């Protein structure tokens, strides 16, 4: 699927995204199955592709799948310059701090736009990054939803492995996902309604503490077992199909740290 988009001219982009690790802060260390921005962006695109039929049914010609897919893959590119900004920090920032972050992201967008091609897949690269920053089009709002689904499942994957450092984020992302139709009213016709897709369902309340208490490292034998959490189960299926099982079972960080 990723071959559909030509990134020629974007020399070094994949390597830069790969170097930026997710949840890079002391309170989220260790992260047993630590991911980076490259695999995150690709998985957001996979989630987008997986729900695209339902999205097209809901919005018809209003939705540009080609634009959304391209946007999913580049939505975090500005963090090549700014670094990964944690949701935990953003949720606790003042208005002035958030304005400063916004300015830094604009600088990052301008910087990347000056060194890489102006167009990708038929779209203006800078415009896509601005859409991702401002969430000012339908495609960007749907990509933002896919972004939060991936983040939720990354955190839940840690909790199922017994990592207590991700219980808070797992709970927070449930609330974030539930809040999308309120934050973006245009998504009401897509989310939590009659459309039957596991990634578009209303997140159920979870006994995170119970999951944590019973948690253990993921294994080749256990990774395919159904958890009953629709978003997480589909996320695992997409990950295994496109990246292999090792991504989900190979411990990357020493738990004694």
Question: Which residues contact residue 221 at a Cβ distance below 8 angstroms, ignoring those fewer than 6 apart?
Answer: none
Planar angle of CA 12, 243, 172, nearest 5 degrees: 90
Strand blocks (E) in the chain: 119-120, 123-124
Residues of the chain with pLDDT > 70, as a percent, come to 93
Residue 242: predicted pLDDT = 96
pLDDT tens-digit map of 61-76: 999 999 999 999 999 9
Which range (81-90, 104-113, 194-203) has the least confidence? 81-90
DSSP string spanning 108-121?
HHHHHHHHS-SEET
Q: Examine the pLDDT at 195 and tell me if it is beyond 90.
A: no
pLDDT tens-digit map of 167-194: 999 999 999 999 999 999 999 999 998 7
DSSP state of 85: P
pLDDT tens-digit map of 207-250: 999 999 999 999 999 999 999 999 999 999 999 999 999 999 99
Give, for 128, the enclosing helix (H) or strand (E). helix 125-134
Residue 224: predicted pLDDT = 93
Residue 257: predicted pLDDT = 47
Residue 95: predicted pLDDT = 73
Confidence of residue 84 (pLDDT cuts 50, 70, 90): low
pLDDT tens-digit map of 113-128: 999 999 999 999 999 9
| Domains located in the chain, CATH noted | 2-249 (1.10.3210.10)
DSSP state of 124: E
The larger pLDDT score, comparing residue 24 to residue 234, is at: 234
| Average pLDDT for 9-27 | 93
Alpha-carbon distance of 82 to 133, in angstroms, equals 13
Q: Examine the pLDDT at 88 and tell me if it is beyond 60.
A: no
Planar angle of CA 72, 143, 207, nearest 5 degrees: 120
Residue 96: predicted pLDDT = 78
Alpha-carbon distance of 232 to 95, in angstroms, equals 33
């Amino acid at each position: 699927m990723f071959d559909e988009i030509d990134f020629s001219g974007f020399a070094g982009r994949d390597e830069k995204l790969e170097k930026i690790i997710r949840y890079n802060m002391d309170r989220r260390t260790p992260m047993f199955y630590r991911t980076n921005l490259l695999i995150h962006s690709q998985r957001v695109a996979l989630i987008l592709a997986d729900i695209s039929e339902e999205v097209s049914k809901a919005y018809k010609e209003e939705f540009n799948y080609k634009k959304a897919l391209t946007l999913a893959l580049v939505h975090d590119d500005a963090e090549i310059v700014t670094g990964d900004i944690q949701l935990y920090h953003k949720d606790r920032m003042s208005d002035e701090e958030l304005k400063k972050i916004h300015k830094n992201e604009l600088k990052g967008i301008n910087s990347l736009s000056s060194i890489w091609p102006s167009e990708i897949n038929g779209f203006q690269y800078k415009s896509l990054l601005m859409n991702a920053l401002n969430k000012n089009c339908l495609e960007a709002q749907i990509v933002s939803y896919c972004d939060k689904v991936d983040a939720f499942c990354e955190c839940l994957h840690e909790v199922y492995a017994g990592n207590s450092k991700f219980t808070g984020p797992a709970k927070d992302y449930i609330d974030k996902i539930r809040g999308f139709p309120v934050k973006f009213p245009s998504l009401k016709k897509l989310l939590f309604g009659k459309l039957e897709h596991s990634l578009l369902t209303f997140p159920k309340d979870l006994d995170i503490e119970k999951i944590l208490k019973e948690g253990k490292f993921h294994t080749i034998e256990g990774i395919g077992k159904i958890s009953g959490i629709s978003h997480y189960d589909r996320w695992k299926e997409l990950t295994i199909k496109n990246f292999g099982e090792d991504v989900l079972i190979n411990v990357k960080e020493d738990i004694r740290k």
